[in-house]
Amino acid sequence: MKVPFVDLTSQLASIRPEVDRAVAEVLDRGAFVLGPGVAEFEEQFAPATGRRHAIGVNSGTSALHLALLAAGVGPGDEVVTTPHTWISTTWAISYVGATPVFADVDPVTGNLDPAAVEAVLTDRTRAILPVDLYGHPAPLVELERLAADRGVALVEDAAQSHLATLDGRPAGSFGTLGCFSFYPGKNLGAVGEGGAVVTDDDELAARVRRLRDHAQDGRHHHVEVGYNYRMEGLQGAVLTVKLRHLQEWTDERRRAAARYAELLADVEQVTLPGVAEGVAPAWHLYPVRVADRDTVAQKLAEAGIATGVHYPTPVHLQPAYEHLGHGPGSFPNAEQYAATCLSLPMFPELTAEQQEHVATQLRSAVGG
Ligand SMILES: *Cc1c(COP(=O)(O)O)cnc(C)c1O
């Protein structure tokens, strides 16, 4: 039996008539960049994140860049973040000329450890940038309190956590601004690139809205250095259709996660993803941890099961960040995750049979 890692085409097939209508409307209207398709999506996405404003942009990376600019982060500032993430989180800090300061992660969830964050705050800290990794919200209540106490911004990287909740609050609703990605493989995926910044603050929203469109506050009047980070009309239209199904797809992911937990509960050699109290993850990924990870992945591949590694090299050990002077051992929990994490197939259409095959093969691969 073949088990793909994700299955984007079958999801699209299940809503194809709706998508075709939305695409045709964009083509008929000719509004290819921003326009009504994007405006409608923004109106519907904002409340899904518990926010008053959503601003559609051309990627999650751009969303992070604009959020940090709006939060007033610039050269000479420090931004505290996690080394165990997709590299874009750190790129955004570099784009605004600030310095990434890493704090180690919690061994159970792989998310930032608030005590480690507190230990690296300095007078130069301007923002804290946690990531809701794997779709599991970071300890955002603690981090929000820490940011408020120190008078710094909290910017939430919610690129993997659409519709996840913490104490009943949706991902993206914590701190000053939240950032989403709609890269095709994300829980809410465009048919190309896309992202959004969400916030409750009217002025920050207006600034992000200007910055994404060459910082124009009227036609041909540019109030600061701006960017071409606009969302395409086609992406807005397709995302509006998909947003209608997102809760149902998230429920399916939660069912699949519960099923993995049940099937693998007694396999000692496999550490299941931890879930913190009060959290309902969006299960963007289902990362287990195993010793000798690459061999296990190889055995699963031979049994027709695709897996992923998120992420094999922590950011502090990437050549791009060599100048920060970290080395192996700098952030042991993040490095432990990088060495042992293995993402099992996880998507809403995953069947019970496929999951049973994954569990059986994983059990045998680890000798359980
Ligand atoms: C996907 C992702 C991003 C970047 O989003 P793009 O749309 O690919 O630019 C940022 N942070 C995290 C944690 C992500 O997973």
Which string of DSSP letters, residue by residue, matches 82-138?
A: -SSS-THHHHHHHHTT-EEEE-PBPTTT-SBPHHHHHHH--TTEEEEE-B-GGG---
Atom of ligand 1 nearest to the CA of 182: 7
Atom of ligand 1 nearest to the CA of 85: 13
Question: Is the CB–ligand 1 distance for residue 132 below 6 Å?
Answer: no
Question: Is the CB–ligand 1 distance for residue 86 below 6 Å?
Answer: yes
Question: Is the CB–ligand 1 distance for residue 131 below 6 Å?
Answer: yes
CB-CB contact of 197 with 227 (8 Å): no
Atom of ligand 1 nearest to the CA of 132: 13
CB-CB contact of 196 with 51 (8 Å): no
In CATH terms, the superfamily for domain 246-366 is: Aspartate Aminotransferase, domain 1 (3.90.1150.10)
- Per-residue HEC secondary structure of 23-52 comes to HHHHHHHCCCECCHHHHHHHHHHHHHCCCC
* 52 CA to centre of ligand 1 in angstroms: 22
Question: Which residues on neighbouring strands pair with residue 177, listed in sequence order?
Answer: 155, 199
Sequential DSSP letters for 127-169: EEE-B-GGG---SHHHHHHHHHHHT-EEEEE-TT-TT-EETTE
Query: From atom 14 of ligand 1, which residue's Cα is the shortest distance away?
Result: 159
Question: Is the CB–ligand 1 distance for residue 61 below 6 Å?
Answer: yes
* 158 CA to centre of ligand 1 in angstroms: 9
Q: Where in the chain is the domain with CATH 3.90.1150.10?
A: 246-366
Considering just the CA atoms, what is the radius of gyration of the chain in Å?
A: 20
Give 22: exposed, middle or buried? Use CB within 10 Å, 0-12, 13-18, 19+.
buried
Give 111-122 pLDDT, tens digit per residue.
999 999 999 999
Question: Is the CB–ligand 1 distance for residue 82 below 6 Å?
Answer: no
Atom of ligand 1 nearest to the CA of 62: 9
Pairing of strands 78-81, 125-129: parallel
pTM of the model: 0.98
**Residues 270-281: b if buried by 16+ CB within 10 A, e if exposed:** bbebeeeeebbb
Residue 368 has a pLDDT of 79
Pairing of strands 169-170, 53-57: unpaired
d(CA 258, CA 254): 6
| CA–CA distances in Å: residue 62 to residues 9, 179, 189, 233 | 26, 9, 16, 17
Query: From atom 7 of ligand 1, which residue's Cα is the shortest distance away?
Result: 60
CATH architecture label of 8-243: 3-Layer(aba) Sandwich (3.40)
Q: Where in the chain is the domain with CATH 3.40.640.10?
A: 8-243
d(CA 104, CA 113): 6
Question: Is the CB–ligand 1 distance for residue 49 below 6 Å?
Answer: no
* 180 CA to centre of ligand 1 in angstroms: 7
* 212 CA to centre of ligand 1 in angstroms: 17
* pLDDT tens, the chain, 368 aa long: 999 999 999 999 999 999 999 999 999 999 999 999 999 999 999 999 999 999 999 999 999 999 999 999 999 999 999 999 999 999 999 999 999 999 999 999 999 999 999 999 999 999 999 999 999 999 999 999 999 999 999 999 999 999 999 999 999 999 999 999 999 999 999 999 999 999 999 999 999 999 999 999 989 999 999 999 999 999 999 999 999 999 999 999 999 999 999 999 999 999 999 999 999 999 999 999 999 999 999 999 999 999 999 999 999 999 999 999 999 999 999 999 999 999 999 999 999 999 999 999 999 999 97
Query: From atom 6 of ligand 1, which residue's Cα is the shortest distance away?
Result: 60
In the three-class reduction of DSSP (H, G, I as helix; E, B as strand; rest coil), residue 80 is classed as strand
d(CA 368, CA 360): 10
Q: What is the Cβ-side half-sphere exposure of residue 268, based on CA atoms within 13 angstroms?
A: 2
From the list 342, 321, 340, the residue with the least C-alpha distance to 330 is: 321
